[in-house]
Amino acid sequence: MPFAQANGLELCYETFGDPGAPPLLLVMGLGAQMIQWDEELCLALAEAGHHVIRFDNRDVGRSTILDHLGVPDVRAAFQAAARHEPVAAPYRLSDMAADAVGLLDALGIPAAHVVGASMGGMIAQVMAIEHPARVRSLTAIMSTTGHHSLPPARPEAMQALLMPIARDRAGNIERAVRIARIIGSPGFPFDEARVRRKAEAAYDRGFHPAGPARQLVAVTASGNRRRGLRAVAVPTLVIHGTDDPLIPLECGRDIAACVPGAELLEIPGMGHDLPAAVWPQIVEAIGTLTRRAA
């Protein structure tokens, strides 16, 4: 897979479809590598008329790993945020949004349709707020504005998020499968074989356990985006599962309420993942949005 110099980092990326088609940038979530955007989903989005770009965020996969920044105290960050105090962080979501813009620069893309999942949806929001000329449309999937009044994750989902990292390959893969069972979609069959294959591929591409901790603190330190979202002027789509235990449905509704004219697609039975059964619905909704934006 190719690499691009972006915002002082090296980002690993991959593209699908016609380079002359409207660009669609996919931004993945916390600790997740670009392969969490299934290749079949990327190909479907390309067939729907997009030049699809997926990439590893900083601190995961094959992109630059920032271990020199140290391992943050995640619990201390949570406690400071709960007291509405500043949170010390190695970097913030603004830096990760600047990475994505830097990737567009490296690829010679003036502006792209941006789709983000979970933390990636937060990064996509920041791109639309801080770099509005670079975003043609915004799609936020299973994400949040980050406002403190919104309902928190269910206890079992938060415990899964903070589950101790396994250091060996087999233990790390079992951890990934266990987390996927807890936060996944109760309305759809659990595809353990697919989850296990992805966990194996992710471990083999790059195992950097401190990176997700730095990303999590970046989310915690970045505050909420309600005020900025009210000024977003590009066509916006919010996709959220009705059964998301990690980022509850109210969080997606909050994004849609903040962005003028935003559309909200609620998918019954979907949790905090993207089951294959919902891909056609997601591809159709994103295609409708990008055509409207054009």
The Cα–Cα gap between 67 and 65 comes to 6
The helices-and-strands tally (H runs, E runs) of the chain is 11, 8
Q: Where in the sequence numbering do the catalytic residues fall? A: 118, 244, 272
How many C-alpha atoms does 66 have within 13 Å on its Cβ side?
21
Q: Which of 93, 26, 86, 105 is nearest to 59 (CA)?
A: 93
What per-residue string of b and e applies to 217-252 under the rule 16 or more CB within 10 Å gives b?
bbbbbbbbbbebbeebebbbbbbbbbbbbbbbbebb
User: For residues 249 and 294, what is the distance between their CA atoms, to the nearest angstrom?
Assistant: 29
Q: Which amino acid is at 130?
A: E
SS3 51: strand
